[in-house]
């Protein structure tokens, strides 16, 4: 069947025409056309996504991208239209939903709403062009979803059977990366920028250009940390007598939840104490921040794998592109682990088309009334 998929939950406008076949046991896909318009450059000025601007851009982009996918694919009709209905920014989500409803009416096609997070889960099987399929997965599976809006651990008993067993109580991990980057005058989106600086710091440490400190006392809930070469202080003049040490909030809490606002505030105070930041100090902060942000993700994922006897781990969302996270996963997780290709780790409509097919099959072709489909900013899995 031919599916038109639409994604507008945040700052990427995505349109895909995908051919799906094989049924629920052997689903396979072929991309007939795919377009993605990123608004990053527009939002850069504001240091984050500005919802009213995102809405305006989606409204402008949707018809243009639609013409493009029609032209590339030469498709004249669809069997199914799918659209992200949440979670995300409601003004942005509405633009996709309104557009999808118009097209469903015009092409007399059933319309199916898709959960964006389910898209991130299935994105590990996708490609940005050509053909691909969803192989047999050993359940129970676990998904660690890490993006600008979400930090969740999801227990997957079967496709479409999800239970969120842990989530952030405040900021998402990607949001913390973005906000800390902003505090250091780095451009939006901040995740890749922080990551770049932290990677540089790791290289410097290997070359031992940083002074390695003794034991570190930290203000987090994990108390004293033992000496390790990873605990270092920057050699720059600004912080010569200060050890950069940030908390790992909720690292040892008994649940699978996360918290990132305390870490963000700790960076804010640190920067305030230091004053002007030189390049080296930025590197040191990025390094310790990245360690502090990633450590709870690894620790809790490991605990959940043990508790639920998980067979497959699926990582999804923009932060999955983080090199330190990828290395730590490899080092610590021994079960089969799936990660999205870089182009599919961030928002896209390919993953929305994939979910639409699986959901349509699971619901035996039943779709809700178009008038009942609405934007749900906090839609749960």
Nearer to Zn ion, 3 or 92 (CB): 92
Q: Which of 61, 162, 178, 54 is nearest to 118 (CA)?
A: 162
Kindly state whether residue 377 participates in binding ligand KG4, applying the rule CB under 6 A: no
152 DSSP β-pair partners: 145, 167
- Round to whole Å and give the CA distance between 80 and 365: 10
Between 57 and 347, name the residue whose CB sits nearer to Zn ion. 347
Asked if 86 is part of the footprint of ligand KG4 (rule: CB under 6 A), the reply reads no
Minimum CB separation from ligand KG4 for residue 162, in Å? 17
Binds ligand KG4 by CB under 6 A, chosen from 91, 126, 318, 340:
318
**178: partner contacted, choices Zn ion, ligand KG4, none (Cβ within 5-8 A by kind):** ligand KG4
Cα–Cα distance, 343 to 139 (Å, whole number): 26
Q: Give ∠ CA 127-375-4 in degrees, rounded to 5.
A: 35
Measured between alpha carbons, how far is 153 from 257 in angstroms, rounded to an integer? 8
Smallest gap from Cβ 261 to ligand KG4, in A, equals 15
151-190 residues in contact with ligand KG4 (CB under 6 A) are 174-175, 177-178, 189-190
Site for ligand KG4 contains 322 (CB under 6 A): yes
Q: How far is the CB of 38 from ligand KG4 (least distance, A)?
A: 10
Q: What is the DSSP string of 148-204?
A: SS-EEEEEEEETTEEEEEEEBSSS-HHHHHHHHHHHTTPPSSHHHHHHHHHHHHHHH
Residue 171 or 347: the one with the smaller Cβ distance to Zn ion is 347
User: Residue 38 and residue 66: Cα distance in Å, rounded?
Assistant: 15
- Give, in degrees to the nearest 5, the angle at Cα 29 between 25 and 35: 145
Among 85, 168, 301, 346, binds ligand KG4 (CB under 6 A): 346
Among 317, 286, 355, 49, residue whose Cα is nearest residue 167: 317
Among Zn ion, ligand KG4, none, the one that 96 touches (CB under a kind-dependent 5 to 8 A) is none
Q: What is the binding site for Zn ion (CB under 5 A)?
A: 147, 347
With contact defined as beta carbons under 8 Å apart, do 44 and 193 qualify?
A: no
- Residue 324 CA, chain-centre distance (Å), reads 15
Q: Residue 321: which of Zn ion, ligand KG4, none does it interact with, CB under 5 to 8 A by kind?
A: ligand KG4
Closest separation between CB of residue 331 and Zn ion, Å? 26
Choose between 337 and 345: whose C-beta lies nearer to ligand KG4.
Answer: 345
Cβ neighbours of residue 64 closer than 8 Å, sequence gap 6 or more: 37
Which residue from 92, 114, 263, 319 is in contact with ligand KG4, where contact means CB under 6 A?
319
317 binds ligand KG4, rule: CB under 6 A: yes
Task: Write out the residues near ligand KG4 by the rule CB under 6 A.
Answer: 10, 147-149, 174-175, 177-178, 189-192, 195, 317-319, 321-322, 346-347
């Amino acid at each position: 069947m031919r599916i038109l998929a639409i994604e507008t939950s945040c700052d990427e406008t995505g349109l895909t025409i995908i051919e799906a076949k094989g049924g629920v046991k052997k689903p396979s896909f072929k991309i007939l056309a795919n377009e993605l318009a990123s608004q990053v450059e527009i939002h850069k000025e504001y240091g984050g996504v500005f919802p009213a601007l995102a809405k305006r851009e989606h409204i402008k982009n949707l018809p243009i991208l639609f013409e493009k996918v029609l032209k590339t694919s030469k498709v004249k009709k669809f069997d199914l239209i799918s659209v992200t209905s949440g979670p995300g920014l409601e003004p942005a989500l509405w633009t996709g939903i309104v557009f999808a409803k118009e097209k469903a009416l015009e092409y007399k096609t059933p319309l199916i709403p898709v959960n964006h997070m389910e898209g991130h889960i299935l994105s590990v099987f996708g490609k940005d062009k050509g053909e691909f399929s969803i192989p047999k997965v050993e359940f129970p599976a676990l998904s660690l979803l890490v993006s600008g809006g979400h930090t969740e651990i999801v227990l997957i008993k079967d496709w479409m059977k999800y239970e969120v067993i842990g989530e952030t109580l405040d900021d998402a991990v990607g949001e913390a990366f973005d906000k800390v980057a902003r505090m250091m005058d780095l451009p939006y989106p901040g995740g890749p920028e922080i990551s770049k600086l932290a990677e540089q710091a790791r290289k410097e440490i290997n070359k031992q250009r940083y002074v390695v400190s003794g034991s570190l006392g930290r203000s987090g809930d994990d108390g004293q940390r033992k000496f390790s070469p990873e605990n270092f202080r920057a050699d720059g003049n600004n912080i010569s007598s200060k050890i950069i040490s940030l908390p790992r909030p909720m690292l040892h809490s008994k649940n699978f939840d996360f918290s990132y606002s305390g870490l963000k505030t700790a960076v804010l105070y640190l920067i305030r104490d230091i004053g002007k930041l030189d390049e080296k100090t930025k590197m040191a902060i990025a390094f310790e921040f990245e360690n502090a942000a990633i450590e709870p993700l690894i620790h809790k994922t490991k605990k959940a794998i043990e508790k639920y006897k998980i067979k497959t781990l699926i990582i999804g969302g923009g932060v999955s592109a983080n090199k330190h996270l990828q290395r730590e996963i490899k080092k610590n997780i021994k079960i089969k682990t799936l990660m999205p290709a870089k182009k599919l780790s961030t928002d896209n409509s390919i993953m929305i088309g994939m979910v639409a097919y699986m959901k349509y099959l699971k619901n035996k072709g039943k779709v809700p009334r178009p008038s009942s489909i609405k934007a749900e900013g906090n839609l749960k899995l």
